[in-house]
A and B are shown apart, each in its own frame.
Chain A
Amino acid sequence: MKSCPSIASTTIERSEAMPSYKLYYFNARGRAEHSRLLFAMAGVEYQDVRYTREQWPVEKASGRFPFGQLPCLHVNGVMLAQSNAIARYLANEFGMAGKNNLEKAKVDMIVDAIDDLAQAMVKFFHEKDEQKKAEAKDEFKTKTVPILYGALERLLIANDGGDGFFVGEEPTLADFAFVTNGDYVKKFNPEVLDNYPKLKALQERVFELPRIAEWVKKRPVTEM
């Protein structure tokens, strides 16, 4: 411990204590929003960089983004890629990943299951063939979502009755991933949560958390 801090060392200590975060993505919720919710919940400042469709090709060509993909998180001189690697890193840093390895595994399980759902959505979203698209959308609504949401409802209930959060007693990345993805599911299936009362209550509970509510109010409104 330095015994006689000068202004210079105080400044250094301060910036060492608070890493500076830069989150890069498009102007959308998409694959960055669960990270943004983590920042909001933790009350941690970050630069919320959003590239337009025109800006991205230029940025991509610059080579700043090692794998030509977004989102990326720049922290402590390192550029992290992969949306869930980023989110999990932030969750771990902010104590919202689960309190021990088993809890973390439960959080991961839920986040990955929700990711599978997102993949299914992306699939029919990009399907060009109208017939195939309609079939895929139908399968999504009548099979994929009910199977996953049924499982999530059971997992939630298994956590002490299901009137809190997915894992442990506090919000974790699992809850933020769920509500972020839920926004998209709602577009195709507005009343889906009526069949899953505990999930529905969880979603409301998350959006009522003061810091989350505040973020949702002030964030850019985007279609995706």
Chain B
Amino acid sequence: MRGGGHLTIDLIRTINRVKFTGSREHTSNVLSVATMPSYKLYYFNLRARAEPSRLILAAAGVDYEDVRIKRENWPAEKASGKFPLGQMPCLEVDGVMLAQSNAIARYLANEHGLAGKNNMEKARADMIVDTMGDLSPHLVKIIKEQDETKKDELKKEFTSKTLPACNTSLEKLLIQNNGGDGYFVGSELTWADLVFVNHVQRPLPGPSSVDAFPKLKALYEKVIALPKISEWIEKRPKTDIYETVLTHSDDVNWALPMFCGIVTGPVIQLSSVRSYSDKTLLQFSSRLYAVTKPLAAY
């Protein structure tokens, strides 16, 4: 909890929250002065599995501590026993450590009126989020594949088959909601739309993946243009060079080949890889870029 000096700000925010976001728990005109919980979100310096929660918090206009743990510090943090499933992201709230990215995101969505208005809407949001979640095993498989040829095959299959199939389902789901020119669920923004933004912004292959899906594309552009969302996208740490690198595993053996595969294409291949810190990755990236830039002229 923050100290007394911030109580006024908390109070004002609470009033705004109750008055303007219409939290389903406060339907009367009497303002209940619920004190704002303090949130601490723990993850790596990545978007990946924590970004939906960050987008939800941004949309809700809620402050939180955005803790980004360095890769080299993770083994010690993990060993501390602080993270109940030995994984991140985690959300610390009210003395409780919540794990599992969707459990966290859904909790924040529920708390801040971004989950859907009734159980059926919430179920629709869940269904849409889970449809995107079905991609995770494929991505993890790509990331973990050491053989470069196989990796390229898997990537091609992902971008030409698996992802379009998912987007086809998503477009169908969107159209189910009153023709598809609004949000995914009901008539307002929900976390399903925010998870979708993160889905589109995955570097493999990036926003071009929705070019073939007009309704999805329109939704994506609508959501990233929302003031609070565009503000967050503008100011958040830029992590694109790391984004291809992982999920929640502390196993970085596969990190560099994958990274190099994105940055250099077939030009440079690195074989045996051990652990690399973020700093090393940056050094590699600048050296590789220096090498490949002249090649690009050909």
**A contacts, CB < 8 Å to B:** 66-67, 75-76, 78, 80-82, 84-86, 88-89, 92-93, 101-102, 104-106, 108-109, 111-113, 119, 123, 147-148, 151, 154-155
Contacts and interface: CB of A to CB of B under 8 A. Distances in A.
A123 to B, nearest CB: 8
Contacts of B94: 102
Nearest to B118: A92
A102 to B, nearest CB: 6
Contacts of A151: 84-86
Given A80-B123, A89-B126, A105 B106 contact: yes
A35 B98 CA distance: 24
B120 A82 contact: no
B14 interface: no
Nearest to B248: A116
B86 A67 contact: no
A104 B126 contact: no
Nearest to B86: A147
B102 interface: yes
Given A102-B96, A105-B103, A88 B110 contact: no
A113 B93 contact: no
Contacts of B111: 101
Given A102-B93, A111-B103, A148-B85, 10 more contacts: A82-B127, A82-B130, A85-B123, A89-B126, A92-B122, A102-B94, A105-B107, A106-B96, A109-B103, A151-B84
Contacts of B126: 82, 84-85, 88-89
Contacts of B96: 102, 106
A101 B107 contact: yes
A123 B172 CA distance: 29
A-B CB proximity, top 9 nearest: A108-B103, A85-B126, A105-B107, A89-B123, A82-B130, A112-B100, A85-B127, A109-B103, A109-B100
A82 B124 CA distance: 10
B130 A84 contact: yes
Given A66-B172, A147-B86, A119 B119 contact: no
A123 B144 CA distance: 14
B208 interface: no
Residue of A106, A111, A148, A155 ringed by the most chain B CB atoms within 10 A: A106
Given A84-B126, A104-B107, A148-B85, A109 B119 contact: no
B204 interface: no
Contact of B107 (A78, A84, A85, A108): A108
B4 interface: no
A158 to B, nearest CB: 9
Contacts of A123: 137
Interface residues of B, number: 30
Nearest to B107: A105
A113 B85 contact: yes
Given A78-B120, A82-B130, A89-B126, A101 B110 contact: yes
Nearest to A88: B126
B208 to A, nearest CB: 24
B99 interface: yes
A101 B94 CA distance: 12
> Which of A86, A105, A151 gathers the greatest number of chain B CB atoms within 10 Å?
A105
A81 B100 contact: no
B201 interface: no
Contacts of B107: 101-102, 104-105, 108
Contacts of B172: 66-67
Interface string B63-84: 0000000000000000000001
Contacts of B86: 147, 151
B100 A86 contact: no
A182 B99 CA distance: 21
B98 A109 contact: yes
B131 A82 contact: yes
Interface string B164-185: 0000010011001000000000
A92 B119 CA distance: 7
Nearest to B103: A108
Contacts of A85: 123-124, 126-127, 130
Nearest to B81: A154
B130 A113 contact: no
B48 interface: no
